[in-house]
């Protein structure tokens, strides 16, 4: 049970807050299941790159294996944060490494597909440029507030994963339009949410400036 839940139950039962001497706050260990999943995703990135580029990158069996590796890595992204929140295993290490693992996986996939000629470089540049820009914005406003993850951002991530998964699959020619439909949707969501993050960052900075002015 997380410390937050234990404190809530004690307060509901009429007990006071924990005493810092007799009832110390539990420290969440860095080595927990949520962080292990995150690190496993990072370990899968070089495996993914190898399976994507081996034998020229267009062998059907290797592309199926690559899709499976990508899907496995994407599943860890789905569950590591959820497990951390539900079990009270949120750590600063996890907060730092989770987005790094996400960007490493998506970046490796986009760059690899562009190197193979399966995906135009402009798509890779737009998506990765947005991701790097949003990361810079987060640091820009970090002293004042945290820009929360939005539903649009989560939709963007889902569309990117689905689009990349479809591009990895050795789909026959008539079905390529399905992959492109998801990829264009992902690019649009990437741009829209990126603009939204810019406006949020500007608003937060202005609010902070107004509050600090005499």
- Read off the pLDDT of residues 159-186 as tens digits, 9 standing for 90 and up: 999 999 999 999 888 888 999 999 999 9
Stretch 192-199: mean pLDDT, rounded? 90
Q: Is the pLDDT of residue 90 over 50?
A: yes
Q: Is the pLDDT of residue 214 over 80?
A: no
Residue 184 to residue 123: CA distance in whole angstroms: 9
Residue 16 to residue 74: CA distance in whole angstroms: 43
Same domain as 128, residue 198: yes
Q: Which helix (H) or strand (E) holds 78?
A: helix 60-86
Whole-number mean pLDDT of the chain? 83
**Each residue's pLDDT tens digit, 96-140:** 788 888 889 999 999 999 999 999 999 999 999 998 988 888 777
Range of the domain at 83: 22-118
Stretch 12-34: mean pLDDT, rounded? 57
Best-predicted range by mean pLDDT (6-15, 27-36, 117-126, 150-159): 117-126
Same domain as 205, residue 134: yes
Q: Is residue 5 situated within a structural domain?
A: no
Of 73, 86, 69, nearest to 34 by C-alpha is 86
Residue 175 to residue 169: CA distance in whole angstroms: 11
Stretch 22-34: mean pLDDT, rounded? 67
Global confidence as pTM? 0.78
Q: Is the pLDDT of residue 21 over 90?
A: no
Domain final position from 118, 139, 161: 118
pLDDT at 163 (0 to 100):
97
Same domain as 124, residue 105: no
pLDDT at 14 (0 to 100):
47
Same domain as 109, residue 59: yes
CB atoms within 10 A of CB 198: 13
**Each residue's pLDDT tens digit, 30-56:** 788 888 999 999 999 999 999 999 999
């Amino acid at each position: 049970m997380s410390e937050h839940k234990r404190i809530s139950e004690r307060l509901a039962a009429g007990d006071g807050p924990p005493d810092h001497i007799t009832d110390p706050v539990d420290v969440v260990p860095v080595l927990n299941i949520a962080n292990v999943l995150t690190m496993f995703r990072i370990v899968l990135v070089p495996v993914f790159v190898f399976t994507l580029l081996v034998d020229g990158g267009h062998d059907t069996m290797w592309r199926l294996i690559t899709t499976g590796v990508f899907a496995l890595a994407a599943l860890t992204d789905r569950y590591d944060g959820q497990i951390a929140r539900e079990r009270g295993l949120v750590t600063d290490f996890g907060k730092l490494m989770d987005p790094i693992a996400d960007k490493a996986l998506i970046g490796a996939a986009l760059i690899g597909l562009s190197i193979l000629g399966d995906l135009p470089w402009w798509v890779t540049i737009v998506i990765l440029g947005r991701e790097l820009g949003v990361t810079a914005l987060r640091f820009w406003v970090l002293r004042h507030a945290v820009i929360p993850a939005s539903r649009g951002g989560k939709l963007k991530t889902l569309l990117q994963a689905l689009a990349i998964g479809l591009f990895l699959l050795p789909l026959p020619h008539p079905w390529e339009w399905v992959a492109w439909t998801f990829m264009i949707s992902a690019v649009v969501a990437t741009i829209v949410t990126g603009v939204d993050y810019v406006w949020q960052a500007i608003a937060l900075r202005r609010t902070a400036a107004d509050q600090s002015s005499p």
